[in-house]
Structure 1
Amino acid sequence: MTGVPTGTEFVRRQNTGLVLRSLRAQGSATRTELARRTGLAKATVGTIIGELEAIEAVHEDDSTPSGRGRPGRPITLTGQAIIGLGLEVNVDYVAAVGLDLAGTVRVVETRALATAGTPPSTRELVELATDVRTALIDGGHTVVGATVAVPGLVAQDNRTVSWAPNLGWTGRELATELEAAFGGSCPTTIDNDANCAALAEAAHGVTTDVQHSLYITGTIGIGAGIVQAGSLLRGGAGFAGEVGHMPIGDPEAICGCGRTGCWEASVGLRAMLSAVGMEEGTTPVQTALTVAARAATDAEVRAALARLGTALGTGVATLAAVLDPAAIVLGGYFVPLGAYVVPAAEAVLAERLPSASIHLPQIRLSSLGIHGAALGAAEQALADVYAGSLPG
């Protein structure tokens, strides 16, 4: 959204956003029903629907004639032509998701990185982003914006990676780099990967039924996305959720941030691989699938994973005592290993959470796969449209 709208323009955008969000959250409705849902005048709704039809964001069923004594025509949010591009860059992969206005995924792609433990460049991310965006445009779609999910701290300008130790990035102006690659025609923002994944779970995954949830990433780094009353909890500087660096891990374990005793140094992907004596694969999920196959026949691997589950549960119990989530979602590499780590984590949570006898949060495994953060980033890229800023 460019500029700050004032007066009637501001009201028009607010009203348009109300209609779009109603159609997305509550489904198809007639103009009369939309007026009732949103509290807007029917004439205002009619004007908004006309504008949305002009950009192919909605479809009004004309198979049933509308008029006195006849049912109104249902209006459906379609939005196939309007796309938000979600991207993720991590230590060993980049991912992209194209999401349309109705919440339908139009494209998904992941590419492995071979950085051999060195900080990744942005070349692979830029190549993936431009390839996917070009394909969408060639297919007749309008890409209204892009959001990149990163495993680290993001400045409040939502454009700069302040600190991402596992990537080796500090103060990187990632949004500017991508916008230059897009030729200045695709507004781009940055957000933390756990925040994006938490939003994706709330909209598409295993926490659509709760208002308060905690998402834990499962990659080389460990982060958290905190959803309270349907919105992200970001904290005073926007850095809430950097739970991987809580000093509750093995006090001798060295973390990627240079400190010792961080939680992710005990429960991150490489800590898990060290515990089971196996090598890293192309992505966290593919790596974990290999470990799960070994665990099925190797008692020592199962025991190592149970110990990891105990360390995971210690951190989860600490967070649950502070945040009181209704559900705790484990993502990334934890998903294929759920059968081996979740029982131990649940046992620690039940033992250490003071309120466990009254309310014990459920530990759930993500259903979104490796693309969860990119999917949430795509939702973020559509935020201005849902606020009423229509593409030109």
Structure 2
Amino acid sequence: MGTERLRRLNTAAVLVALREHGPASRSLLAERTGLAKATIGAIVGHLFERGVVAEGAPENGARGRPSRPVSLAPSGLLGLGMEANVDYVAAALVDVAGGVVTSRTTAVGTGSPLEVLRGLAVSVQEEATGPVVGAGLAVPGLVDTDGRTVAWAPNLEWEDARPGRALSEALGLRVVVENDANLAAVAEGAHGAALDVRHSLYLTGTVGIGAGIVDDGRLVRGAGFAGEVGHMPIGRPDARCGCGRLGCWEATVGLRPMLRAVGEPEHANPTESATAVAARAEVEAPVRSALAELGSRLGHGIASLTSILDPDAVVLGGYFVPLAPWLLPVASAVIDERLPSADRHRPTLRAGALGIEAAAVGAAEHALTGVLDGSVPI
């Protein structure tokens, strides 16, 4: 192994130790990483010069000179995350210490999602108070393992597209593309509703329905396209999906069929649409009835997925969050009825904690992967 590669790996080990276990003295970092104290001293010195770490006040030990705890500096290194969707785009900055620095959403309106996102992403990048080391893009569709090609995103009408190119040119950064549900699952596991579990299933709640599957803390990708649950043929058999087929689950439980069922126009983004429906559900019995039917359809699908995947928790994101008081009780009852093992083990149903920007936050986390695995120099 070359000297430069070894230096990157050792630096990454220090960053991971600080991120996962918190501030530590140089001696404690040496114990946590297995690196020599001299190596730790050189790495910490380099990171301090770059503004990536900070030193705290001296702590008196049992003997010798007082030690100074080292911690990751807020905004010392940043990842930029983006999401392109049918009716909205989002962008976020996450720092290497694990903090969400900023996140913003903009309605697409009559523009192109990619063009609107480019403007938003440049604006958010300009807010960065430290170096942005990478960028990630979340999309609602199938993404090839090359991290660049969107093989199929029917709701965006993309096929074999490379949306990262235009964004990379505008930002001056390499842009890695990934499925939106996968990235939202990562974000909820790192910052949100799935912090306390190792096995979780995340369901997007937008125009399409996708799943992010986390098993023992790692994404499940299958051969590359795992999680396309929105196209399981368990919806109403006469419901036409955006993919052109009949009976897909998302054609029954996606945002637009829900809005049609309650007679609500589409608002700027899925959360705003669902918030308007939630206000009506407080006072309109027909809306509550329509949501009960939706909750039942959700429950049947989740029961099927749970029988296969056995998650500890199922996190509902997107438009499901404002409607959780009406959806979760009904879906839970259906799961209890349909899941053979419900009396011994059943997942908890949870509303997502990160809202509409979960995928963008996950994309920003993903953008930091290079510095945390040693593949990107600091």
Q: Which runs of 5+ in 1 are unaligned?
A: 1-5
Of 226, 232, 235, the residue aligned with 1:240 is 226
Q: Secondary structure at the match of 1:240?
A: coil
Shift of 1:81: 3.3
2:43 pairs with 1:48: yes
Structure 1 residues 77 and 8, CA, compared in 2 at 3 Å: closer, same or farther? same
Shift of 1:350: 1.1
2:242 partner letter: G
What is the match of residue 339 of structure 2?
353
1:151 partner letter: P
Q: How does 1:79-98 map to 2 (within 5 A)?
A: 79-98=74-93
Shift of 1:390: 5.3
Alpha-carbon distance between aligned partners in 2 of 1:358 and 1:14, rounded to the nearest angstrom: 43
Q: Contact 1:145–1:382 at 8 Å: present in 2 too?
A: yes
What is the match of residue 57 of structure 1?
52
Structure 1 residues 63 and 69, CA, compared in 2 at 3 Å: closer, same or farther? closer
Q: Contact 1:89–1:150 at 8 Å: present in 2 too?
A: yes
2:119 partner letter: E
Alpha-carbon distance between aligned partners in 1 of 2:263 and 2:316, rounded to the nearest angstrom: 23
Q: Secondary structure at the match of 2:135?
A: strand
Structure 1 residues 350 and 71, CA, compared in 2 at 3 Å: closer, same or farther? farther
Question: RMSD over aligned Cα, in angstroms?
Answer: 1.7
Q: Provide Cα deviations, 1:332-358, integer angstroms capped at 9, x if missing partner.
A: 000100011111110111111122121
Q: Provide Cα deviations, 1:63-112, integer angstroms capped at 9, x if missing partner.
A: 44789434422111114232110001111111110111112222221111
TM-score by length of 1: 0.93
2:319 pairs with 1:372: no
What is the match of residue 131 of structure 1?
123
What is the match of residue 200 of structure 1?
187
Alpha-carbon distance between aligned partners in 2 of 1:27 and 1:197, rounded to the nearest angstrom: 24
Shift of 1:246: 0.5
2:5 partner letter: F
Q: How does 1:1-392 map to 2 (within 5 A)?
A: 6-64=1-59, 68-115=63-110, 120-136=112-128, 140-182=129-171, 185-236=172-223, 238-389=224-375
- Name which of structure 1's ranges 204-213 and 72-81 shifts more when overlaid on structure 2: 72-81
Alpha-carbon distance between aligned partners in 2 of 1:115 and 1:223, rounded to the nearest angstrom: 25
What is the match of residue 3 of structure 1?
none
Alpha-carbon distance between aligned partners in 2 of 1:388 and 1:89, rounded to the nearest angstrom: 28
Alpha-carbon distance between aligned partners in 1 of 2:246 and 2:190, rounded to the nearest angstrom: 36
Q: Contact 2:150–2:159 at 8 Å: present in 1 too?
A: yes
Q: Contact 1:56–1:79 at 8 Å: present in 2 too?
A: no
Q: Which runs of 5+ in 2 are unaligned?
A: none
Alpha-carbon distance between aligned partners in 2 of 1:180 and 1:80, rounded to the nearest angstrom: 23
Alpha-carbon distance between aligned partners in 2 of 1:257 and 1:378, rounded to the nearest angstrom: 29
Alpha-carbon distance between aligned partners in 1 of 2:282 and 2:307, rounded to the nearest angstrom: 33
How many pairs does the alignment contain?
378
TM-score by length of 2: 0.96
Alpha-carbon distance between aligned partners in 1 of 2:58 and 2:34, rounded to the nearest angstrom: 27
